[in-house]
Structure formats: C-alpha cells, structure tokens
Copies of this chain bind each other. A is one copy, B any other.
Amino acid sequence: MSTSKEKVIDSAQELFHLKGFQNTSIDTILEHTGVTKSNLYYHFKSKEELGLLILEKRISEYERRFFSETLENTSISPEQRLKNYYKKVTAYHKNLDCRNGCPFGNLALEMSDINEKFRLRLSEFFNHWQRIIELCIKEGIKQKQFRSDISSKAISQLIISHLEGAILMVKTHRSTIPLSSGSKTIMKLIKSA
C-alpha cells in the first residue's frame, strides 16, 4: 500500500503533465487520490513546492530512461543511438495518444515568464540535455557518421529545439508524423556526405 504522500506525487505528476501545472487544482489532486487537503499540506508546504519536486522527479526519471538507455549507450554506434532515441520519444507520444506533450516543454512555456525557480531549473536541464546529445554527435563526427563542417554544439542545439517544436506539432496536429518525419529529415541532413 502506498502512502498518501506517494499517491499525491504520482497523481500530481500525471495531472500536471496532462492538464498543465496551473490548470490542475489542488482539489483535483485530492479527488484523484482520496487524500485530504490538510494531509497534502502536511506533506508539501505549497503547490509550488509540489511542482518543483515533481519536476526533479521527472528529470531524474528522464535521465535514467532516455539518456542512459539510448543516447549514452556507448555499446551502439552514435547514429543508431540517436535513431533509437527518436524511436523511443516517438513511441512515448504515440502511447500518450499524441496528447500531453513534453512535460519539460509544457512547463517551460507555462512558467518561464511567471516563476524564476521553474525557469532556471528548466533552463539548466535543457542545457544538460543538449550536452548529452552533443557528446553523441561529437563521437559520430569522429567516426565519420555525421558531417564535420558544423559543430557538434550547433547540431545538438538544433536537435533539441527541433524536438521540442516537433512535440508541440504532434500535440496540435494529433499525429506523430511531425516527429517521425522530422527526425528522419534531421538524420539525413546531418549524415556525412
């Protein structure tokens, strides 16, 4: 049996992703968990704290599931690693019925202008994310899989921007095509001649 605290965290994580942080009320979380409001505020001092905590949880989960298992899996070639990563992301969103979007992109867009804590943490994570991709690209350039006339940094910045935008398109068009087709275009463009 999970504790109230765990139930709140799990439910809030899901709701924040599905409906956004601001658009998810404390009362909705309460309804979904059966936990009382006073109990929730016993465990978390504010909605902001809960949101920040869930952001941390998402980040470590993403680093484990998406970075370690694909982009940083050095037993595979850089090109195949990137392909696997794209495949995994696409499958993730297909499984979510093209709704929800990227939890990080959503939060960044929603909170950057109104809450510095969220913005700074997200900014830091995006930088980390970009460096993970950059290492993969750098190795791919060294192995002559990727073209060498553009810096690995520039390419990785492009990849992460495109990824976030493509997920936004997936959500708006309710189709994974922008992601699956876009990633293929990226792969072709960065391939060495």
Bound: A8/B165 CA distance, A: 31
Say whether chain A's binding surface is mostly helix, strand, loop, or mixed. helix
Bound: A151/B140 CA distance, A: 25
Bound: A100/B110 CA distance, A: 10
Of the stretches A44-52, A64-72, A118-126, the one at the interface is A118-126
Please tell me the size bucket of the interface on A: 35 or more
Chain B, Cβ-Cβ closest to A20: B110
Number of copies: 2
Q: A163 an interface residue at 8 Å Cβ cutoff?
A: yes
Q: A190 an interface residue at 8 Å Cβ cutoff?
A: yes
Which A52-109 residues have C-beta < 8 A from chain B? 99-101, 105-106, 108-109
Output the residue of A20, A22, A150 with the most chain B CB within 10 A.
Answer: A20
